Amino acid sequence: MRHFKTDKPTGQKGNAIGQSFIHESAIKQVIGKAVYVDDKAEEVNSLHAYPVVSTIAHGNIVSIDTTSAFAVQGVVDIFSTKDIPGTNDIGPVFSGDILLTDELIEYHGQPILLVVATSYKAARIAARKVVIEYQTLEPMLDIKQAIKEQHWVRPPHALNRGDAKQAIDNAQHKISGDLDIGGQEHFYLEGQVSIATPTEEGGMFIQCSSQHPSEVQHLVAKVLKQPFNYVTVEMRRMGGGFGGKETQAAPWTCLAALAAFHTGKTVKIRLARSDDFKSTGKRHPFYNTYQVGFDQQGLIEGVDININGYCGYSPDLSDAIVDRALFHADNAYYYPNAHINGNRCKTNTVSHTAFRGFGGPQGMIMAEQLVDDIAYYLKKDPLEIRKLNLYKPGRDLTPYKQKVEQFILKDMIAQMEEEGDYWARKEAIAAFNKTSPIIKKGLSLTPVKFGISFTVQHLNQAGALLVIYSDGSVHVNHGGTEMGQGLNTKIAQIVAQAFSIDMAHILVNATRTDKVPNTSPTAASSGTDLNGMAALNAANTIKQRLFEFAAQHFDVSLEQMQLSDNQLVHEKGQISFAELINLAYLNRISLSTTGYYATPEIYYDREKAEGHPFFYYAYGLALSEVEIDILTGENTVTRTDILHDVGSPINPALDIGQIEGAFIQGMGWLTTEDLSWNEQGALASNAPATYKIPAIGDTPAVFNVKLYNSQNPATTVFKSKAVGEPPFMLGISVWSAIRNALASITDYQYAPSLNPPATPEAVLEAVQAAQQWNKTTMQTTTKETSHA
């Protein structure tokens, strides 16, 4: 594993880009001085709120008795739908996401009332004492039943190219398969938390843990029936988000604001971990099927893929999430004829939501399954089939008609084959498996091609506010949110590079809706792409002002002027950046400005199911080696080698950290993280005791991460590429390697289906399927020999 300890740039002074600066909050986080929302000192007479939630998955409310709750000492009030001045529907895109319900229950854990008390403990105790009588209805919990009944939260959408059916029918070989893909709990270290404070001007000041402060602002205003300028939202840092705070931070903030609106006091809401589990959405589980036709070499001729997202009770972001699953059902492979359909299935569970990858992983894993299945069917190595089907010039059009313009995966695979010693290790593993009766090893190299941009076009914009004080110090606000990924550090590096000044002169502060308005969520891996360009735009605006002022003031040529090493250098001499700024101030030159950026070239025509939804693609490879115990189903990742494309990196250390974390999180989704609902629709895996994220012991013993040497051909900030989501899907290599180990049981002629997560129980079931295949094949061979 590569470690970075550098806290100062090692290159040229004043050249911040490409240097491994330490994360701006790292020291504060390690020693406990980083302040999160729950750490903030409580105001005098502040109150606490806690939701009363349903204990059934589907039904109608018959009666509510709050007598025992009001009897709890400290209870101030209990609010219901009748106390909402404005809208009760807080759907982020489409209607259907209900803040409080007073009649219909659509999932276990749905908020019904809000208890407000003088302490957190009193509010939580009182919430449990509310007595609710229900008329229960049969919940819809089975995705296959929802598909059969066409029970959708949004209409289906499909991608089509050529004649997939005919191509499959005419192909020399055809196979089919399906996959039940589990969901994933976000498990952010900091849970959902918000503080709402009425202001003396008659507005509402919100401090919350949200990836989308502007959406929180807008929804709070709508719930309270106020204009947007009534609400100001501040977000300094999150203790993790991963998509779980893109839309689903808003309900709890709206409830805190509702209570503050009525009581006139500061109100804080913080969910206990078990309630956070129960009442917030997860990564969408999926049920997917495929048919594929191919030739004797393994070249794909046609695919028919059905993508079915398990959405929960409401739309939330499921339309866009299933869209992205469709867009990534090809991964890195060219499908000359394709039909890829996406369904958004309505079920009586909490509404599932954004999670790192945003549907991309659930689509991409289908591409990897069908490629593996082709390989085992033809008795070839899966890497041969992968290389054969890669996008390349002349085979460069995606099923949604976007042209792929960068073809670096072939070179990356060649580099990984050599550096990862793929073929020698494959041979050694095959030999080991023949002599090892219980432990089986597997090896898999899987690629990632991930599109970067919001698939909703208008979200691809960002703003920034840049202020330079008269002593030369710089203050930056931008529309992105810091959730641990290092966005603020990268923004500071971008501004430092623009002015050629040291990082110590720059402060990137909290995200606030009164500083930068109408912001997009920090999601879709676009935080640096969008906000970095906006900050750079602002810096360049002021830089141009300074150059024009200096040219006139010093009577020098504008063309020969440059900022370098904390100085302005011109043909007559030089002046320090701080002196230049003070001189500009004394001469009444504006030293503040806004910056703005909108991603060019992107569009998607939904009617035609074609367009250019992504500004560019990020690429990566992971080569993982695993061991499985065929008696217990236990599995271990012994080694992983990663080669990932981040373009020209702004901060290599932060990028490698993101790659490492994303891989482990992706590995967890596919191996240990098992979401489970019982027959009544209640979440059974609702705490760390029953839901297992990867621990340090699950990290590969050998873990090598390397950045691929490239530049982004698209015009991005300093030619960098996004790194938040793409490496998550590198974890698919672990799942594919486990299947490779299972295939060794059948001498690599058949790999049984393995529904993720590949828990020991799931692996053991697959082992038994492989052993049964051997038995059936042997019986068939014996009969044929006997008959002959």
Taken in order 386, 392, 395, 400, is the CA torsion positive or negative?
positive
CB 149 within 8 A of CB 92: no
Query: Please, how many CA atoms are within 13 Å of residue 546, restricted to the half-sphere of its CB?
Result: 31
Q: Quick one: three-class SS letters along 6-52?
A: CCCCCCCCCCCCCCCCCCCCHHHHHHCCCCCHHHCCCCCCCEEEEEE
> What is d(CA 85, CA 82) in angstroms, rounded to the nearest whole number?
8
Taking the C-alpha atoms of residue 477 and residue 519, their distance in angstroms, rounded to an integer, is 12
The tokens describing 511, both together, are 């995200």
For the question of residue 418 being annotated catalytic, the response is no
Asked if 244 contacts 353 with a C-beta cutoff of 8 angstroms, the reply is: yes
Q: Look at residues 105, 113, 99, 111 and name the one whose alpha carbon lies nearest to residue 136.
A: 105
DSSP string, 621-647: EEEEEEEEETTT--EEEEEEEEEEE-B
Structure tokens at 11: 């290159």
Handedness of CA 691, 694, 696, 697 (dihedral sign): positive
User: Cα separation of 247 and 252, whole Å?
Assistant: 10
Quickly list DSSP for 487-506.
Answer: HHHHHHHHHHHHHT--GGGE
The secondary structure of residue 774, as a DSSP letter, is H
Q: What is the DSSP string of 220-272?
A: HHHHHT--GGGEEEEE---S--TTTTTSTTHHHHHHHHHHHHHHSS-EEEE--
Q: Six-digit token pair at 168?
A: 């499959």
Task: Beginning with the edge strand found earlier in the chain, give each strand of the sheet holding 131-136 in spatial order.
Answer: 104-105, 59-65, 131-136
- Catalytic pick among 215, 673, 725, 784: 725
- Measuring CA to CA, which residue among 53, 65, 292, 286 is closest to residue 174? 292
Question: What distance in Å separates the CA atoms of residue 195 and residue 120, rounded to the nearest whole number?
Answer: 13
Give residues with Cβ within 8 angstroms of 550, minimum separation 6. Answer: 556, 561, 568, 570, 575, 580
- The neighbouring-strand residues paired with 60 are 104, 135
Angle at alpha carbon of residue 455, lines to 454 and 456, rounded to 5° = 85
Which residues partner with 706 through β-bridges?
A: 643
Q: Is 653 helix (H, G, I), strand (E, B) or coil?
A: helix
Three-state secondary structure string covering 308-331 = EEEEECCCCCHHHHHHHHHHCCCC
Q: Are strands 616-629 and 439-452 parallel, antiparallel or unpaired?
A: antiparallel
The count of residues in the chain is: 788
H or E stretch including 656? helix 652-671
Distance separating alpha carbons of residues 415 and 298, to the nearest angstrom: 23
Q: What is the rounded CA–CA span in Å between residue 585 and residue 595?
A: 20
User: Edge to edge, what strands does the sheet with 152-161 contain?
Assistant: 152-161, 338-346, 300-312, 286-294, 173-181
Q: What is the CA radius of gyration of the chain?
A: 28
Of 553, 563, 585, nearest in space to 472 by CA: 585
- Longest CA span, the chain: 102
Measured between alpha carbons, how far is residue 63 from residues 56, 66, 116, 130, 432 in Å?
A: 14, 10, 20, 11, 66
Catalytic residue numbers? 725
